[in-house]
């Protein structure tokens, strides 16, 4: 089985991201190497082997990474533009299998703390948003927590809703 070309040198990390302290880390990788391998194996929906674990290549999250990378020439937050610097292959402690997943990270220049990148629903699931790629964006955890469930309907949807209410009233 193939192996990645180069691992990422992680010496600069001082503080782990608090939300991922309960994760077991397998290894650190350069973003472009990971993107290459995901792209090459994208349609195979197979497991890819690593040192002491494996990951599934064809996931929605990995597809979002590719989409973001192709758009920007790098992976960055769709809201604030913060650039991701490396990938960690990791899994939660509750996960007893040998299956890991990729997470994107960068390091805050001032605090030296890791910032993880999340998948965010542009229109939240609670407001009828789908989990299709077109409704997903890549966000750093800072933007993601600010946004939470605050979502403003696009103006066109608000206009439609406004007129549908008027029409409803006219029919009565």
State in angstroms the smallest separation of the CB of 49 from Zn ion. 33
Over the window 130 to 149, marking each residue x when it contacts Zn ion by CB under 5 A and - when it does not, the resulting string is: ----------x--x------
Cβ closer to Zn ion: 57 or 140? 140
Locate all alpha helices (DSSP H) within the chain, ordered by sequence. 31-41, 60-72, 141-147, 155-171
How many other C-beta atoms are found inside a 10 Å radius of the C-beta of residue 89?
Answer: 22
Size of the site for Zn ion (CB under 5 A): 6
Residue 82 engages Zn ion in binding (rule: CB under 5 A): yes
Exposure of 81 by Cβ count < 10 A (0-12 exposed, 13-18 middle, 19+ buried)?
exposed
How far, in Å, CA of 62 to CA of 155, rounded?
Answer: 31
Which of 137, 77, 144 is closest to 106 using CA atoms?
77
Using the rule CB under 5 A, give the single segment among 16-24, 52-60, 81-89, 102-110 that binds Zn ion.
81-89
Cβ closer to Zn ion: 34 or 140? 140
Over the window 51 to 80, marking each residue x when it contacts Zn ion by CB under 5 A and - when it does not, the resulting string is: --------------------------x-xx
């Amino acid at each position: 089985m193939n192996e990645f070309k180069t691992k990422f040198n992680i010496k600069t990390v001082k503080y782990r991201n608090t939300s991922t302290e309960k994760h077991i880390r397998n290894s650190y990788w350069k973003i472009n190497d990971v993107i290459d391998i995901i792209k090459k194996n994208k349609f195979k929906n197979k497991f890819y082997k690593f040192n002491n674990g494996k990951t599934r290549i064809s996931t929605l999250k990995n597809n979002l990474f590719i989409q973001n990378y192709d758009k920007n020439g790098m992976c960055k937050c769709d809201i604030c533009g913060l650039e991701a610097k490396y990938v960690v292959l990791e899994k939660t402690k509750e996960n007893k299998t040998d299956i890991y997943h990729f997470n994107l990270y960068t390091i805050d220049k001032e605090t030296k703390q890791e910032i993880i990148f999340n998948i965010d629903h542009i229109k939240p699931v609670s407001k009828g948003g789908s989990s299709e790629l077109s409704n997903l964006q890549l966000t750093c955890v800072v933007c993601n927590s600010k946004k939470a469930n605050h979502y403003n309907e696009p103006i066109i949807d608000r206009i439609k809703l406004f007129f549908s209410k008027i029409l409803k009233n006219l029919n009565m």
